[in-house]
Amino acid sequence: MAVPNGASEEGDASPAVRPAREANPVAESLIEVARYGDVDGVEELLEQNVHVDSQDMQGRTALHMAAANGHMEVVLFLLNRGADVNVENDEKNTPLHWAALNGHIQVSEELIVRGANASTLNRYDRTPLDEAVSRGKQAVVDAIITATTAASLATADVQE
């Protein structure tokens, strides 16, 4: 799987305070089951009070991994359980960076609808749109532009 500009590959669930990063086998398990699209495994681990935004040693979360691999069902489940749509890993990549880089159009759109900031710069000063362009993912580029415009218009309508 491709990762943003040298970022590591990979990228839980109770209302508890986000834990400090340390080797945590249960959190690592959550990230792995999300990586492979196992929504039942994600649910089971979250029921064990693993924090939905638990991070591994590289700052990756279950949402990073689900987004990077295009697992929409897991992405939706995590977001509905309160996952931070703009969480950053050590490379400052968000789940949207990884979804865009890997060409996952619907996941990218959903993350934006749910509040993902398409202007977030990673460690290499690249936005999710930049990452999609760098990999020739024109359909994702178009989807991000359309979804971002729609989100901006919806916000403007609410404010009027």
Residue 42 lies in a domain: yes
Neighbours of 82 (CB within 10 A): 15
Q: Where are the alpha helices (DSSP H) in the chain?
A: 25-35, 39-47, 62-68, 72-80, 95-101, 105-113, 128-134, 138-159
* 97 and 131 Cβ atoms separated by less than 8 Å: yes
DSSP letters along 29-42, please?
Answer: HHHHHHHTT-HHHH
Domain membership of residue 37 (yes or no) is yes
Please give the model's pTM, rounded to 2 decimal places. Answer: 0.83
Residue 35 has pLDDT above 90, yes or no: yes
Give residue 33's domain range.
Answer: 10-159
Q: What is the mean pLDDT of residues 22-38?
A: 90
The answer to whether residue 146 sits within a structural domain is yes
Q: How many CA atoms lie within 13 A of 81 on its CB side?
A: 26
Per-residue tokens: 86? 């703009």
pLDDT, averaged across the chain? 87
Pair 84, 75: CB distance under 8 Å: no
Percent of the chain with pLDDT over 90: 75
What digits encode the pLDDT tens for the residues 110-135?
A: 999 999 999 999 999 999 999 999 99
**pLDDT attached to residue 151:** 75
CATH number where 19 lies = 1.25.40.20
Residue 3 buriedness (CB in 10 A; 0-12 / 13-18 / 19+): buried
* Total number of domains in the chain: 1
Q: Is residue 3 part of a domain?
A: no
Asked whether the predicted pLDDT for residue 17 surpasses 90, the reply is: no
Cα–Cα distance list, 102 to 33, 96, 154 (Å): 19, 10, 27
- In this structure, is residue 83 part of a structural domain? yes
Q: Is the pLDDT of residue 80 over 70?
A: yes
